[in-house]
Chain A
Amino acid sequence: MGINSNAKQVIAEIVSNKKVGSYHHMVFAVGEIANAAKPGNFVAISVGGESSQLVLRRAFAIYRTFDRGASGGLLEIVVAPHGAGSAWLANQQPGAKIDLIAPLGTAFGIPTEPVRALLVGGGYGSAPLFGLSDVLKNRGCRVDMVIGASTAMKIYAPLDGKRSVSSLTITTEDGSTGKTGKVTDVLREIITSNEIDIVYSCGPMGMLEAINNITEEFNLVHQCSIEESMACGIGVCMTCVLPIKGDDGQIRMLRSCIDGPVVAGERVIWNAKRTIPEGTWGAH
């Protein structure tokens, strides 16, 4: 199988764009792409229009997809309008045509047996976890979810999403909703009391690292969706690499767009921090 063999570049129409808290929930008519996408995959979107000075695509985790049969599939994302590119996208109205490539990257691994899964999302990083939750529930898994953010406006937890999980715990650093603190403050208790078998996470790298420290403590499988500054999203630019340990124990600088975004947390060299770890393949 080739690299990104399901990926297609399409001009997709925006079906809806709704503001949800600090974010925009956007739906695109993407045709058959919807069928090929799995929870964890991402979409690379061209931003800024024809005369834009923004030359690079923006990567967004796929929130959900729907196959609507003959009328074509839908792909949904949650956009945080942080920079010029995401702000441009969030401003686009239904009917606008958007150049996107999907599905890209790795997907969350789904256990073959009904296990007890804990899904942890930071900010709008919760979005892809709802689609994952649906898949896990269909496999007979129990799904608990924790979503954290700095403040209530940055918690993404839509009603239908809430229905797909067995329990939902929300944390905010300012205490504006849910428990005051960070997601990692509540993980140990949930892992113990709900006898969690596997942890899935999506959010900022600092949060993923903190979660991974806890999953290692409990010796749990941790699948996380990582991120690093990315130019192309399709594996050609070699900018989005991270030091990751392979099956053979060798650390390599792997592309988060091809070998990720979903990786096993135990394989990531979390403390590399702007260096090439010693022993990395080809380090000198």
Chain B
Amino acid sequence: MFNFQTTLGKAEFENPIFTASGCAGSGKELSQFFELNQLGAVVTKSIMLKARSGRATPRMAETPSGMLNSIGLQGPGIDLFLENDVPWLRDQGATIVVSIAGESVEDYAVLARKLRAVPGISALEVNISCPNVENRGQVFACHPETARAAIEAVRRNIGGELPIIAKLTPDVTSIVEIAEEVVAAGADGLALINTVLGMVIDTNTMRPKLAGKTGGLSGPAIRPIAVRAVYQVHAAMPHVKILGMGGVSSGQDAFEFILAGASAVSVGTATFGNPMAAMKIKEELRAELISHGFDSLREAVGYAHRSEGGN
């Protein structure tokens, strides 16, 4: 019997296919197409302290094998989110990973305190790398000190055993350095990677296409960057669990992340093209693992790192 179960920190999941933060709406939109409890976990949109309008439109530009977005973390704020979204997801029997984002270290501390006693949450994704903020200085994951401060604030305030997964950006000189810093600060796992900062210029208007000028690039175009990041971090810290993501659109893509060292894989942009993408990828990954002779997902995690002499 093939074992598809996985863990991130102390949290256990029935299968390794998650949604990616910001790519599953409130969950209700996708529930029209499949039952959310079939996912390893629903990773919620990154929720902030207060309601947020997000950035002006246009927010989206399609690019070769990908897209640029500048949503700017539109959302209802943590209080309404806890009142409406989390209970609804719980009612669906979904495994829930709540993603949070703050504008200051104090925001992260307050968000963690608001979440510490909420039942039915399996893990916390701490998004310290959203590229769609007006001030690049707010991208905590760009600097070791700010990355550490944000994760420490969550660790100190979350209490209990809720695993913390720090979401990092590849837009740094050394993602390993940032990863080591947040693990030292108390992160149990890492979400790799957030979107890559990019821009499209409209050649008709001869101005940046997005109202926010820059946006986050996602989709298959960034997959090799993501696989590289997962591989590098897993090589440096093989004991740290990784939630891999970036352009996963098939089981083979997901398998690549597992081989690089991810224990679970998030599906993001692929869902925009196909609401059933996560379900398709889950079955394809299972078949992929079995066809390569693995009895469990766990055996395959980081398999690409084995020595040259191995099989």
Contacts and interface: CB of A to CB of B under 8 A. Distances in A.
Contact of B272 (A3, A55, A253): A55
B22 interface: yes
A236 interface: yes
Interface in B53-74: 53-62, 64-67, 69, 71, 74
Contact of A99 (B33, B52, B274): B274
Contact of A4 (B29, B55, B59, B272): B29
A57 interface: yes
B200 to A, nearest CB: 11
A55 B273 contact: yes
Contacts of B274: 9, 46, 99
Contact of B273 (A46, A235, A283): A46
Contacts of A241: 54, 57, 59, 74
B51 interface: yes
Contacts of A2: 28, 31-32
Given A2-B32, A282-B53, A238 B71 contact: yes
- Name B's interface SS: loop
A210 interface: no
Given A9-B276, A99-B274, A275-B211, A238 B32 contact: no
Given A235-B25, A276-B54, 14 more contacts: A2-B32, A9-B33, A57-B273, A229-B61, A231-B62, A232-B271, A232-B275, A239-B59, A240-B59, A240-B60, A241-B59, A253-B53, A275-B56, A281-B51
29 contacts: A3-B28, A9-B274, A53-B65, A55-B270, A56-B272, A56-B273, A57-B273, A101-B275, A228-B58, A229-B60, A229-B61, A234-B32, A234-B275, A237-B60, A237-B71, A238-B71, A239-B57, A239-B58, A239-B59, A239-B60, A240-B57, A252-B53, A275-B56, A281-B53, A282-B50, A282-B52, A282-B54, A282-B76, A283-B53
Interface of B: 22-25, 28-33, 45, 50-62, 64-67, 69, 71, 74-77, 211, 219-220, 249, 269-276
Interface of A: 2-5, 7, 9, 46, 53-57, 99, 101, 228-232, 234-242, 252-253, 258, 272, 274-276, 280-284
